[in-house]
């Protein structure tokens, strides 16, 4: 069965970097893109963008350009979200998600990774 398993919670200081992983199993990794969704404390869901796992080409939503980097390592079927120059407002739960098919809704979700940025 399809599973997305994310790395554990992180506590970082402002200005540092963090790299969140999303390990995919149960399907051919390069067949579907991986999306990233942010949820700030007590807030709603924000789509950050996605990465084509076949080509490695990322696509970022406005507001998530510059400090946010999507990448993949197909050898370990894992997608990564790196956030550089962390700010307190980056504190959130970050989810990876996969659609059921091309251009469809998010059927599969990781369990979420809490990133806390605090001095």
Partner 1 sequence: EIVLTQSPGTLSLSPGERATLSCRASQSVSSSYLGWYQQKLGQAPRLLIYGASNRATGIPDRFSGSGSGTDFTLTIGRLEPEDFAVYYCQQHGSSRTFGQGTKLEIK
Degrees, nearest 5: CA angle 80-81-83? 145
Note whether 44 binds partner 1 by CB under 8 A: yes
Closest separation in Å from C-beta 13 to partner 1 = 25
Phi, psi of 70 (to 5 degrees): -100, 140
Note whether 105 binds partner 1 by CB under 8 A: yes
Size of interface with partner 1, in residues (CB under 8 A): 17
Closest separation in Å from C-beta 85 to partner 1 = 25
The DSSP-derived string for 15-55 is T--EEEEEEEESS-GGGS-EEEEEE-TT---EEEEEE-TTT
Note whether 100 binds partner 1 by CB under 8 A: yes
Q: How many CB atoms lie within 10 A of CB 27?
A: 14
Alpha-carbon separation of residue 83 from 57, 70, 107 (angstroms): 17, 9, 25
Residue span binding partner 1 (CB under 8 A) among the ranges 23-31, 40-48, 65-73, 81-89: 40-48
By CB under 8 A, the residues from 48 to 87 that bind partner 1 are 61
Note whether 112 binds partner 1 by CB under 8 A: yes
Q: Which is nearer to partner 1, 27 or 106 (CB)?
A: 106
Sites of contact with partner 1 (CB under 8 A): 35, 44-47, 61, 95, 100, 103-107, 109-112
């Amino acid at each position: 069965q399809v599973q997305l398993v994310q790395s554990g919670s992180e506590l970082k200081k402002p200005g540092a970097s963090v790299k969140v992983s999303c390990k995919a199993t149960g399907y051919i990794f390069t067949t579907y893109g991986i999306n990233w969704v942010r949820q700030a404390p007590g807030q709603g869901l924000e789509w950050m963008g996605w990465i084509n796992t076949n080509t490695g080409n990322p696509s970022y939503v406005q507001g998530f350009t510059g400090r946010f980097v999507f990448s993949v390592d197909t050898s370990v079927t894992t997608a990564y979200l790196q956030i550089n120059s962390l700010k307190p407002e980056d504190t959130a739960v970050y989810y990876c998600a996969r659609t059921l098919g091309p251009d469809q809704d998010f059927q599969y979700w990781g369990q979420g990774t809490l990133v806390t940025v605090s001095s």
